[in-house]
Amino acid sequence: MKVALATFAAIPDGGSEAAMLRASLAPLGVTAEPVVWDDPSADWSRYDLTVIRSTWDYIDRPAEFLAWADALPRVANPAPVLRWNTDKRYLRDLAEAGVPTVPTLWDPDGLPDWDEFVIKPAVSAGSRDTARWRRGTEDEQARAHLEALRGAPAMVQPFLSAVDTEGETALLFCDGDFTHAARKSPILRAGAGIEGLVTGEDGRGAITPATPTEAQLALAERALAAVPGAPDLLYARVDMVTGPDGAPVLMELELTEPSLFLDAAPEAADLYAKAIAARL
């Protein structure tokens, strides 16, 4: 049995997580190969399953990426989930379903009233084109950023102070079951943006093991239950932060090409490998 671990040209070997998955799949009789998703010489029919892993440049050509996923014989996560999740307006769907999320303005005409806020595009990966601004002192830069993303669409969210004091918490799931959690240290500085992609393989932002609270687990499960096609998810990462009232709120739901933070829980690689093998 053969599995393709889809990656992008900057990391043709798929990085450290691909290596861990390959090592865990081998004893199960599964050969896993990293394959660059837009390599014209790739023959996807050779693989029993394609698992989306580090396809982090899809944001440059989202329509091409989704058409490629649609054409694959078998892919995880499923192509309809990828189509829904690659545009962060899915957060609006989740909020309407009652999932507590960070408040978001979509393509606003002007700057928000929040003292500090984050601007980013709705189609983005690795925090690219994301910046944190302060009201009153950085309005000119913030307006220029917002205008540059006009129609993307742009999304604007309040910067939550807990990101600086606690970081974000990421809860990882495999086949709908919680596997492990990690803490993501802050990478956004006030008055600055992110240069390039933060990939999880580049050393920016420390990742450390974490133990989720009951409230965090409940939020993650509630968010996943609201996903169209939730029963078919192979992998999921639920990113959250503590809100002003002390309760967790959803920042992002990563169902396309998330880092799984396996370095923080190496044993989880075996769980994902077993789930992959069970699909073959």
Amino acid, single-letter form, for residue 94: L
Give the span between the Cα atoms of 269 and 180, in whole angstroms.
Answer: 11
204 catalytic? Reply is: yes
Q: Are 168 and 113 a contacting pair, CB within 8 Å?
A: no
Alpha-helical runs (H) found in the chain: 15-25, 62-71, 79-85, 90-96, 139-148, 162-165, 214-225, 268-278
143 catalytic? Reply is: no
Q: Of these residues, 17, 168, 201, 254, which one is catalytic? A: 254
Sequence-separated (6 or more) residues with CB below 8 Å from residue 43? none
| 262: helix, strand or coil | helix
128 catalytic? Reply is: no
Alpha carbons within 13 A on the beta-carbon side of 55:
30
Give the span between the Cα atoms of 238 and 219, in whole angstroms.
Answer: 9
Give the span between the Cα atoms of 256 and 176, in whole angstroms.
Answer: 15
Alpha-helical runs (H) found in 97-209: 139-148, 162-165
Say which residue the tokens 């503590």 belong to. Answer: 242
Q: Of these residues, 135, 143, 204, 279, which one is catalytic? A: 204
Q: Of these residues, 17, 237, 252, 257, which one is catalytic? A: 237
**3-state percent helix, strand, coil for the chain, nearest multiple of 5:** 30, 25, 40
Catalytic site positions: 204, 237, 254
